[in-house]
Amino acid sequence: MNNILLVTGGSGLVGNAIQYCVKEKYNDFFSKTFYLSSKDADLNNFEDTLNIFEKIIPTHVIHLAANVGGLYKNLYNKVEMFETNMLININVLRCCHKLNVDNLICCLSTCIFPDKTTYPIDETMLHNGPPHYSNNAYAYAKRMLECQCSYYNENFKRKYKCVIPTNIYGPYDNYNLINAHVIPALIHKCYISKQENKPFIIKGSGKPLRQFIYSKDLAELILWTMFHYNDLDSIILSVSEKHEISIKDVALTIAKEFNYDNIIFDSSFEDGQYKKTASNEKLMKLYNYKFTPFNIGIKESVSWFIKNFDKCRK
């Protein structure tokens, strides 16, 4: 049987890491691989989505495509964040079902967990209360993706699985200063600050805590989930609780890579959710994975950004 892999969101941060890992470890398994970008199909449109699926006829699908952004994009564009992500997810899963794809992995996020909760968060707590107001539109759309997968599994005996990564960073990210996630935005901002010899200003106090996973680590774990995780319940893919780090320390680590120490934290800006500590106990019981140390991941990410500054997304 020809095994054909289709990755939605294949040109982005995680998609590029998936490409790298497939070439390294799974090249002999897949006869063909397709990494879709928004140029290939409008996944908000069902006919567009169906056309590309019928052209490829995949046997395995990794669904990464989403309308994503940092704190302020989520705060100020809630209708867009909810509607586009709902449409993308509905269209992709309908097409997977229509083409009889059983091996589907969908990517969620730990930001979808309840705001008011006990820590650490685990997989059983996903629907225990509303998410933080700052990103609730995106979070609810992603929660519905988890529900959608479970309904296909229940009604049609599919094997659709969801992974829940913590904050992702690495090469090929979106470095837009307004809409990017925290690490790529800070990398770009620090680069400009040093170029212009101006203060590296971080919005907020720097106190919030986050767990970060390097994109190559996540790619390896997604492929492990596809081939070796036999449960249909969602699984958190994350570094351990002890590797939770403050935004202040993230900024300082980035600044160190640029050899720049003119740093200011502007507390007049909102911090967002203080913490959302996730447990990786379920993962580690099944697979004792060795994660890339944060300082090494940041070093590689900053190096990639500098080398690719003229052509990277920003």
Catalytic residues: 138
For residue 177, which phi and psi values (nearest 5 degrees)?
A: -70, -25
What's the CA dihedral at 36, 42, 48, 51 to 10 degrees? 0
121-130 core/surface letters (b: 16 or more CB in 10 A; e: else):
bbbebbeeee
259: left (phi over 0), alpha (psi -120 to 50) or beta: left
Start-to-end CA distance of the chain, whole Å, equals 41
- Cite the DSSP H helix spans in the chain: 13-21, 46-56, 71-76, 78-98, 136-156, 182-196, 215-228, 247-257, 281-286, 294-307
Residue 156 token pair: 């049609």
- The candidate with the shortest Cα–Cα distance to 264, out of 251, 275, 254, is 251
- The candidate with the shortest Cα–Cα distance to 134, out of 46, 61, 69, 218, is 69
**What pairs with residue 209 in β-bridges?**
246
- CB distance 38 to 45 below 8 Å: no
Q: What sign results for the dihedral spanned by CA atoms 290, 294, 299, 301?
A: positive
